[in-house]
Amino acid sequence: MNVVDLNARSRTGRGKGYRNRLKAQGLVPAVVYGKELGSLPIELENRAVENILNKGSRNMLISLKVDPGNGRARKFDAIIKEVQFHPYKNEIFHVDFQQISLKEELTTNVGLRLVGEAPGAKAGGRLEQLLWEIEVSCLPQDIPDYIRVDVSGLEIGDSLHVADLTPPKGVKFMTDGEVTVVTVTAPRQEGEAPEEAAEETPKVAPAPEAE
């Protein structure tokens, strides 16, 4: 796994006005969380975070250098834990970093990538991906960019489950093995009517007239 160098500086401000001033400078607020560190508010270049996200993996190992303002910068090994976006604008609102130890396993989510072409899909079936991420446990340097899901053996009616996937070396899957990842469903026949939602309501005999 590649390591990305990222520079940041401590911050003390908060609130909408402070956030707007950061935005005007091309910066975004963030926090680094860690067992020993607790929480450290920082600010960093928005473009630097976008570059990491554009590479397609939030689990990229980051060497985070934080300047507290006194010339004594601190370095942390970290990964991006969460990115918050503006509710209706395509812009980063806040970033959470997780401080990590290169000697300790961590748990995180990794994306799934379908590879190959399913014969069932070529025969007219519909390939449906039901799971997009899988939880894994491993050392930070062993975090894969993605997990391959080979669908080249799937016929109509076949499915792949988490237990069918092969984890990379040093990686353990934490997601339940029975969870379905992808399936190939049969095509609907032309002119096929949907199933009746309910049976016809039975007729009720009229009540006898009173004597």
pLDDT tens digit sequence for 109-137: 999 999 999 999 999 999 999 999 999 99
Supply the pLDDT for residue 21: 87
The percentage of the chain sitting over the pLDDT mark of 90, rounded to a whole number, equals 60
Q: Are 27 and 46 in contact (CB under 8 A)?
A: yes
- Contacts of residue 189, defined as CB under 8 A and 6 or more positions apart, other chains included, come to none
Residue 12 lies in a domain: yes
Length of the chain as a residue count = 211
**Binning pLDDT at 50, 70 and 90, where does residue 89 land?**
confident
Query: Structural domain tally of the chain?
Result: 2
Which domain CATH number covers 58?
2.40.240.10
The residue with tokens 């997009």 is 132
pLDDT in tens, 184-206: 999 876 655 554 444 444 444 44
CA distance 162 to 174: 10
Answer yes or no: do 89 and 114 share one domain: no
Do 70 and 93 sit in the same domain of this protein?
A: yes
Any domain includes 62: yes
- CB contact set of 158 (below 8 Å; sequence gap of 6+): 118, 120, 183, 184
What pLDDT score was predicted for residue 126? 95
Q: Are residues 68 and 91 in the same domain?
A: yes
For residue 155, the enclosing domain spans 106-185
pLDDT for 198 equals 43
111 and 88, same structural domain?
no
Closest CA to 139 of 102, 97, 99, 98: 102
Dihedral over Cα of 143, 145, 151, 157: its sign: positive
Structure tokens at 145: 């960019």
In Å, how far are 19, 48, 177, 201 from 27, measured between CA atoms? Answer: 9, 9, 42, 65
Across the range 172-184, mean pLDDT stands at 98
Q: Which of 110, 161, 167 is nearest to 133 (CA)?
A: 110
Q: How far apart are CA 177 and CA 162, in angstroms?
A: 5
What's the CATH number where 174 sits?
2.170.120.20
